[in-house]
């Protein structure tokens, strides 16, 4: 097995930078530079030198094989974060025989191979590194802590018990008074199916937290949508003008509202029009608005045509500086009512995000659907009587297999490259 090394902290000038070395030669390599090593898990201050040349004064931290992030023997060099210092130490490590630079995600891949993390935890770690909002951070940390594994283990234990009950009836099929295990088997299958169905239902909310919610501003031409978007975004993202029909394309602004990632959409003003280009804009506006998680209807004294608010959508009156109506009044021009609008959006999003469970991505959905389908077959076979026991047992095994794939225990080799390619070097 290779010994790998990489800068674990971000590239560029910094106060301190951490270089991580993992593999059988990790301590030897660190000793080459530091002379002596501190006790494992105790930080020690050392002068790093290579071939007599002084590189830096560093804090060195060693982890024993089997008790490190990767599971390998690990050494960390906490050095000064100067670009030149980092280059000099990386260059020195490159000169040591048997060491090579780590590929993106390779430390985490070792952690997976050494069973320090399961595949869902790896995804959680990837999400944690990408997290920009509080909701994303909390969700990712929960997954990194092993929440998926705990749930899957519970389901798997139930399926193993159901399988064992069925196997027992196959083995003792000749007995005079066979015990009917099907009620207990069905109960176990139904418990797991219900759990999976629940997690499938909650997955949409978790995906929204991970990817961000889409919030579309809709209204008639000239209602002040683009002005409102710019005010909320704090920059001139969209063109505004006194001419009705200014916005044609959907304008997207990424922002954070109440700890949630949001893509705020400005859309073309809605009206029937003979202008070919504007009509395309209106179609796009309607499509995106319908697909959005939340719509903000910006009224200008008249109803918005072509689309109606769905339950939970926000309806507000614009240009509050000129006229006030019943309900929430906002003005992109003066900023009036924007705090209340943001609070209202925040409240809606926290409602939409509330149902999130621990399954967070399409891969989880596919695996759970596969398991769910296999459980339906198992249920059918059990109901059709004991001569179908072999088939029921096989379906249960398939369901357990699909669940194990969630944790990366089976059937995922082809996925790993894709998952790790999104990691940064040093993770
Ligand atoms: N300096 C440093 N800080 C870091 C990391 C690191 O690798 N190095 N991490 C990198 O992501 C995170 C912490 N994650 C870690 C996870 C496991 C172990 C570890 O040594 N695990 C052993 C021992 C566990 C224990 O003592 O309780 C093990 O699991 O066997 C270390 C760091 C964030 N901070
Ligand atoms: N008084 C006042 N004028 C506003 C306000 N918001 C926008 N306006 C003006 O209304 C006109 C239209 O503003 P936009 O933001 O371009 O309107 P829009 O809804 O994006 O229009 P379309 O892109 O054509 O659909 C511009 O002249 C703005 O200056 C507001 O809150 N108060
Ligand atoms: Mg506009």
Residue 421: which pLDDT band, with cuts at 50, 70 and 90? confident
Q: Is the CB of 76 under 6 A from ligand 1?
A: yes
Q: Give residue 171's pLDDT.
A: 74
Name the residue of 69, 74, 105, 121 whose CB sits within 8 Å of the most ligand 1 atoms, as the mutation to test its pocket: 69
Kindly identify the ligand whose nearest atom is closest to the C-alpha of 324.
2
Mean pLDDT of the residues in the chain: 95
Position 176 scores a pLDDT of 59
pLDDT in tens, 298-337: 999 999 999 999 999 999 999 999 999 999 999 999 999 9
Confidence of residue 276 (pLDDT cuts 50, 70, 90): very high
Sign of CA dihedral 116, 117, 122, 127: negative
Q: Is 20 annotated as a binding residue?
A: yes
Task: Write the pLDDT tens digit of every residue in 60-77.
Answer: 999 999 999 999 999 999
Whether residue 230 has its Cβ less than 6 Å from ligand 2: no
State how far the alpha carbon of 241 is from the alpha carbons of 188, 226, 246, 251, in Å: 63, 9, 7, 15
Mean per-residue pLDDT for 361-372? Answer: 96
The closest ligand to the CA of 336 turns out to be 2
Write the residue with the smallest CA distance to atom 12 of ligand 1: 69
Find the 299 Cα to ligand 2 centroid distance in Å: 11
Per-residue model confidence as pLDDT tens digits over 29-88: 999 999 999 999 999 999 999 998 999 999 999 999 999 999 999 999 999 999 999 999
Average pLDDT over residues 209-224: 97
pLDDT of amino acid 81? 98
Question: In the prediction, which pLDDT does 199 show?
Answer: 97
Query: Tens of pLDDT along 334-352?
Result: 999 999 999 999 999 999 9
Summarised one tens digit per residue, pLDDT across range 101-111 is 999 999 999 99
pLDDT exceeds 70 at position 173: no
The strands making up 251-257's β-sheet, listed across from edge to edge, are 251-257, 260-266, 213-219, 294-299, 314-317
What is the residue with the minimal CA distance to atom 20 of ligand 1?
68
Query: How many angstroms does the Cα of residue 147 sit away from the middle of ligand 1?
Result: 18
| Mean pLDDT calculated for residue range 399-414 | 87
Q: Is the CB–ligand 2 distance for residue 240 below 6 Å? A: yes
Ligand 2 atom having least distance to the Cα of 229: 15
- Residue nearest atom 11 in ligand 1 by C-alpha distance: 69
What's the rounded Cα separation, in Å, for the pair 150 and 146?
Answer: 6
pLDDT class of 410 with cuts at 50, 70, 90: confident
pLDDT at 178: 65
Look up the ipTM and state it: 0.87
Closest CA to 119 of 426, 418, 412: 412
The larger pLDDT score, comparing residue 176 to residue 207, is at 207
Q: Determine the pLDDT at residue 422.
A: 84
Q: Is the CB of 271 under 6 A from ligand 2?
A: no
- CA of 3 relative to ligand 1 center, distance in Å: 18
- CB of 63 within 6 A of ligand 1: the answer is yes
Q: Would you say 22 and 61 are in contact if contact means Cβ atoms under 8 Å apart?
A: no
Contact 412, 421 (CB under 8 A): no
Question: Ligand 2 atom 12: the closest Cα is on which residue?
Answer: 222
Q: Which atom of ligand 1 is nearest to the CA of 66?
A: 30
241 lines ligand 2 (CB under 6 A): yes
Residue 263 in contact with ligand 1 by CB distance below 6 A:
no
177, pLDDT greater than 60: no
Q: Is 243 annotated as a binding residue?
A: yes
Going from the Cα of 210 to the center of ligand 3, the distance in angstroms, rounded, reads 28
| Residue ID of nearest Cα to ligand 2 atom 32 | 319
């Amino acid at each position: 097995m290779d010994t790998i090394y990489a800068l674990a902290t971000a590239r560029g000038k910094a106060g301190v930078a951490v270089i991580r070395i993992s593999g059988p030669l990790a301590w030897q390599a660190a000793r080459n530079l530091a002379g002596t090593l501190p006790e494992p898990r105790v930080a020690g201050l050392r002068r790093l030198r290579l071939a007599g040349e002084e590189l830096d004064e560093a804090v060195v931290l060693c982890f024993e094989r089997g008790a490190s992030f990767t599971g390998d023997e690990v050494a960390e060099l906490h050095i000064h974060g100067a670009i030149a210092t980092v280059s000099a130490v990386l260059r020195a490590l490159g000169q040591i025989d048997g060491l090579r630079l780590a590929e993106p995600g390779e430390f985490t891949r070792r952690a997976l191979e050494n069973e320090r993390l399961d595949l869902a935890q790896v995804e959680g770690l990837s999400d944690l590194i990408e997290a920009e909002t509080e909701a994303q951070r909390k969700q990712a940390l929960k997954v990194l802590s092993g929440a998926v594994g705990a749930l899957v283990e519970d389901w798997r234990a139930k399926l193993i018990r159901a399988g064992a009950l069925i196997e027992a009836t196959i083995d003792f099929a000749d007995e005079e008074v066979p015990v009917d295990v099907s009620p207990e088997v069905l109960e176990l299958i139904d418990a797991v199916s219900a759990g999976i169905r629940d997690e499938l239902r909650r997955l949409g909310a978790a995906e929204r937290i991970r990817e961000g919610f889409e919030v579309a501003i809709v209204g008639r031409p000239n209602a002040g949508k683009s002005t409102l978007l710019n005010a909320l975004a704090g920059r001139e993202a969209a063109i505004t003008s006194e001419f009705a029909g200014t916005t044609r394309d959907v304008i997207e602004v990424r922002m954070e509202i109440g700890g949630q990632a949001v893509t705020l959409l400005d859309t073309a003003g809605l009206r029937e029009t003979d202008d070919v280009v504007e009509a395309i804009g209106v179609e796009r506006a309607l499509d995106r608005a319908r697909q959005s998680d939340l719509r903000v209807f910006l009224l200008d004294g008249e109803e918005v045509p072509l689309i109606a608010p769905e339950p939970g959508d926000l309806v507000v009156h614009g240009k509050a500086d000129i006229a006030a109506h019943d309900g929430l009044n906002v003005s992109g021009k003066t900023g009036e009512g924007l705090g209340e609008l943001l609070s209202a959006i925040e409240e809606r999003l926290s409602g939409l995000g509330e149902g999130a469970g621990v399954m967070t991505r399409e891969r989880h959905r596919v695996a759970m659907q596969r398991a769910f389908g296999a459980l339906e077959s198992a249920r059918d076979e059990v109901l059709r009587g004991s001569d179908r026991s072999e088939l029921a047992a096989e379906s249960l095994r398939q369901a357990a297999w699909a669940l194990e794939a969630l944790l990366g225990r089976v059937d995922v080799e082809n996925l790993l490259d894709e998952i790790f390619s999104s990691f940064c070097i040093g993770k």
